[in-house]
Chain A
Amino acid sequence: MKIKGIAVPAFIVAALFTVNTAWAGSIVIKGSTTVLPIAQKVSEVYMKQNPDIKISISGGGSGNGMKALIDGSTDIADSSRFIKSKEVSLAVKNGIYPVPFAVAYDCIVPVLHPTNAIVNITMAQLKDIYMGKVKNWKEIGGPDRPVVVISRDTSSGTYEVWHKKVMKKERVFPGALLQASNGAVSQAVAKNKNAIGYIGLGYMSKDVKALMVNRIVGSADTTLDGTYPISRPLYMFTPGWPKGDVLNFINFVLNPEKGQKYVSEAGYVPLY
């Protein structure tokens, strides 16, 4: 009958699908949206040079990467913050010993809409804005417009660094619009002349204006010599010391002639 005629070929197709191609290498990368552009750019090049390796990348935040590392569902965890002690103990409980690799440096840049005239801001002013104390831009010398505060979801690594270095561990006020990624923050600020947000250096574009912090411009140099106040290393963690394909990939990323070249192309600060 009709049903039988479809069943047999369908079964064959399904069986074909379940055959796992075991000879092609595959690398799974999950984690921080800040590290994502680096991971993506480097992977594109790596896959072109090694066509039998398949890399799959997801974002979702540093917390997501750590989570995947802990339950063993990823080969590399991108993170824009160091691993937390709670995560270490959870990982060790599962028999996984996380190994960190610093793959780049990043600075977090506060950004405004291009039509906002302010060019410099102090750390204290940033903190006040994010605590909700500054309601209008004219209070700090800007145009007469309401302040719309854009921040990151609280489990983002970028947020954690902001929280530690700018907020000094004070809470961001509830009226801040929380976005899911650097890209979303950049977009929200670009579309809203009243907005302020913060993004990793790699997400800078002409649609937003970077602010100087304490009269220091966020850039590769000021990050590496430590004068820019809001900077951090970016990490890739592996479960245990990497082997095989993953080790090759990590070495590729760290190599100044290879991976690091693409780090600066992606707009981040290379290690050297």
Chain B
Amino acid sequence: MNGIICKEGVAFRRRFAQGTMFSLFRIAAVINGAALLVVVYFLVARGWRAINWTFLSQPPMDSMSKGGILPCIVGTLCLSIGAIAVALPIGVASAIYLNEYARPGRSVRIIRLGINNLAGVPSVVFGLFGLAFFVVYLEMGVSILAGSLTLGAMTLPVIIGSTEEALRAVPDTYREASLGLGATKWQTIYRVVLPAALPGILTGTILGLSRAAGETAPIMFTAAVFYTPSLPTSIFDEIMALPYHIYVLATAGTEIEATRPLQYGTALVLIVLVLGLNLIAIIYRSRLRKKR
């Protein structure tokens, strides 16, 4: 047909191609959104019935088929806070060095290599490392301490990345003004740059918290156990944790079918925690960006 190759035909073909491709884009994005919604929907639909005050405030009872997940919630909180306590100082200091002090050269490349590769290490390898190093070699035993250190190592790249982004966003004019007034570099960082970057660092901390709360493999061998209904009293205690609890209830529990609603409930609590933290960080960050 003449229509396809004449001028109007070519124009039609190009518009058609564009329309198709852009529809494909939209379909891809919709699939992504749908994936998230499907997972959340199923968890909410099958899990909300399990959520009540008993569930959130009682330890598991009767071979875990009744009762609640209080020790898991407490354990997860301890571990995430512990992880941040480890990763935040080291991460912020590393980011400060990379962004404020370092001169481009070999040492910076090596450090960045370390960070990027650390970010790519599989979570089970972190777990094995935590086992071999913290639990056995440093003799911490299976404990909150070992688990926090392992999770802290995992969260370090997240903290470094977001802190660097926050530091970079502080305009150089701030630094120049401060130095111009006679302050030393450290004083500038401590009193001018860091406070300005604090909101961004906070965002990164929240993201790091959520990441640490959701990880299972690093704590499997270093901190979490199947059943210890009493709350931890020292950092050398073993604890239960939300992600590990889901795993054991679903695969290693003694009454898997009976505890199914509890599994959904625990998963729901976990994603509420994790997605909630992420939402807070996302909203906070977009507000920050708008302010600038």
Contacts and interface: CB of A to CB of B under 8 A. Distances in A.
A31 to B, nearest CB: 10
A190 B257 contact: yes
A21 B233 contact: yes
Interface residues of A, number: 41
28 contacts: A2-B198, A10-B85, A17-B234, A18-B234, A18-B235, A18-B236, A20-B233, A20-B234, A36-B254, A37-B63, A40-B227, A40-B254, A44-B61, A47-B229, A47-B230, A57-B227, A57-B228, A59-B252, A73-B141, A73-B142, A181-B253, A183-B251, A184-B252, A184-B256, A186-B256, A187-B256, A187-B257, A190-B257
A251 interface: no
B226 interface: yes
B254 A37 contact: yes
Contacts, number: 87
B254 A183 contact: yes
A207 B225 contact: no
Which 4 interchain pairs have the tightest Cβ spacing?
A56-B228, A181-B252, A58-B225, A57-B227
A38 to B, nearest CB: 10
Nearest to B259: A183
A215 interface: no
Given A21-B233, A33-B252, A54-B228, 6 more contacts: A20-B233, A24-B233, A44-B63, A47-B229, A179-B251, A183-B256
A266 B228 CA distance: 19
Interface string A75-106: 00000000000000000000000000000000
B254 A203 contact: yes
A183 B225 contact: no
B251 A36 contact: no
B239 to A, nearest CB: 9
B200 to A, nearest CB: 15
Contacts of A40: 63-64, 227, 254
Interface of B: 61-64, 85, 136, 141-142, 195, 198, 225-230, 233-238, 248, 250-258
A124 interface: no
A102 to B, nearest CB: 20
Interface of A: 2, 10, 14, 17-21, 24, 28, 33, 36-37, 40-41, 43-44, 47, 54-60, 71, 73, 179-184, 186-187, 190, 202-203, 205, 207, 266
A202 B173 CA distance: 71
A266 B62 CA distance: 10
A62 B113 CA distance: 41
A57 B226 contact: yes
Contacts of B238: 28, 56, 58
Chain A CB within 10 A, most for which of B61, B62, B254: B254
B225 A56 contact: yes
Contacts of B195: 2
Contacts of B136: 71
A67 B31 CA distance: 47
A182 B230 CA distance: 26
B225 A57 contact: yes
Contact of A54 (B230, B254, B258): B230
A205 to B, nearest CB: 7
B226 A59 contact: yes
A192 B227 CA distance: 29
B251 A181 contact: yes
Contacts of B255: 183, 205
Contacts of B198: 2
A10 B86 CA distance: 13
Nearest to B190: A1
A129 B228 CA distance: 39
